[in-house]
Amino acid sequence: MPENENTYFHSVSIDPKACRGCIHCIKFCPMEAIRVRNRKAVITAERCIDCGECVRVCTSHAARATVDNLQILKDHKYNVALASMPLFAQFKNLNDPNILLTAILELGFDDVYEVAVGAEIVGNETRRYIRQHPENYPYISTSCPAVLRLVRMRFQNLSEHLLPIQTPTEVTATLALKKAMEDTGLPAEDIGIIHISPCPALSAFSKEPLGIRKSKITGNLSVKAIYPLLLQKMPLVKDNPKKLSHASSLGLGWRADGTGGGYITEKYMSANGVHNVLKILESLEDDSIDGLEYLDLYTCTGGCVGGTLNVENPYIARADLRSVRAHLPKRIPKDELPFSGDISWNQRIRFDDVYKLGNTMQESLRRLAAAEKIEKEFPGLDCGSCGAPTCRALAEDIVRGKAYRHDCIYFLRDHIHALTMELNTISDDINRTILEDKGHPTAQQMERLQDYITQLWAELNELDSRFK
């Protein structure tokens, strides 16, 4: 698990046994949360937003998302699966969502509920909310938990723009739990609500949500793990699927491929991919976004179909989702939507400045000045050989006491060079004593020589260890 445990629950972690210290992930982490130390990647937990970028790029499969497995069905007397919207996009030529939903029941679930229904409820509520609250335009959608965590950690002054509405998955979980209790007469603690999740951020969020006190979701399975099992079951049920689907085309597409923003308002911007999202939030922070009411943001490329726990390429998945959506009603009439109660946030969000350099303003300013000075000593190549993503990040690690100047191989090389020059000078000095003065080297000269040789040896060993 990540190194600092006094933060939010995380789904993403790095297996040190599988990590080969290639530094690939440090370049892709949008939060600069990963460092490679002693040839192993380590996540700084308080910075991680579980976006899954490291999972996506790690070819050694050392960066992983932890989710549950089907054994979790044994934990409760009655289990309901929440079928995430991207799940429908993983299958070619799926012209009847009921085939997929029936196959899910075949895995051992007692019931299944589509997250698309919750998405439609959230869409309606979002529309109502932003019309009634023009004071904080533009609102940032909070259905992507990674976006929410990103704002919480890095853009605290945008807090009033956060849309205080629960995620479609959470709203669906509430509906599913209510229905299960009504159907079975069981108490909530006997019912498992298991989300088939497209991304680690949603899984982590269900363990430790923001904006609500506790999630109704009791477990998470990955789309990836369930996909091959469903491929086996679907042909068995395709001729006689149960009528389970209640979703509409709007609900299924809204969060899955980011095509729902236009339904909320005409004055919206939709963006996906964590680096694009970062740029938009920076622009909003700089007041350079004008005239918009709603920002529909997803950290995964392509929206939730791009989640790292999916199987299919996001662009292919988007196309496949269109074909399922074509077989669904356009939208669920408002009076047919299940009653969800109040879906607004009921818990204040704690904002943490995880990038501050010190505990007090004074200390932060002092360290900032020191980091700027140290950064100038480095070559500015941002090569990552030190284990930090940029020279600036290394300088900040140094002022926090978490790294050394010598972690920079260029700094180390220059230092070795300087030591070699010093050795040369001492050696010349000793030679002069022997040849010109016809004397013996002094104890002081020998001591200096020994001292420099020891230092050089240590530095060479340090350099060597980087390449082992």
Site string for ligand SF4, 34-63 (x = CB under 6 A): x-x----x-x----xxxxxxx---x-x-xx
> By CB under 6 A, what part of segment 304-333 binds ligand SF4?
none
Among 7, 17, 23, 290, binds ligand SF4 (CB under 6 A): 23
In angstroms, the CA 218 to CA 206 distance is 8
CB of 267 to ligand SF4, least distance (A): 30
Beta strands 111-114 and 12-14 are unpaired
Strand segments (E) across 335-465: none
CB of 155 to ligand SF4, least distance (A): 15
Told to check if 176 binds ligand SF4 by CB under 6 A, we report no
In angstroms, the CA 178 to CA 184 distance is 10
Among 4, 20, 377, 383, binds ligand SF4 (CB under 6 A): 20
C-alpha triplet 327, 330, 335: angle, nearest 5° = 125
Candidate segments 20-28, 127-135, 182-190, 219-227, binder of ligand SF4 by CB under 6 A: 20-28
Q: Which two tokens stand for residue 353?
A: 């400045």
CB of 1 to ligand SF4, least distance (A): 12
- C-alpha distances in angstroms, 299 versus 94, 142, 148, 417? 27, 11, 10, 45
In angstroms, the CA 92 to CA 65 distance is 26
DSSP secondary structure, 273-297, as one string? SHHHHHHHHHHHHTT---S-SEEEE
CB of 150 to ligand SF4, least distance (A): 9
User: Do residues 148 and 201 touch, judged by C-beta distance below 8 A?
Assistant: no
Of 34 and 297, which CB lies nearer to ligand SF4 in the complex structure? 34
Indicate the SS3 state at residue 244. Answer: coil
Candidate segments 25-33, 103-111, 171-179, 183-191, binder of ligand SF4 by CB under 6 A: 25-33
Of 320 and 397, which CB lies nearer to ligand SF4 in the complex structure? 397
Told to check if 393 binds ligand SF4 by CB under 6 A, we report no
Q: Which two tokens stand for residue 263?
A: 């339904």
> By CB under 6 A, what part of segment 61-80 binds ligand SF4?
62-63
- Where do contacts with ligand SF4 occur on this chain (CB under 6 A)? 12, 14, 19-25, 29, 31, 33-34, 36, 41, 43, 48-54, 58, 60, 62-63
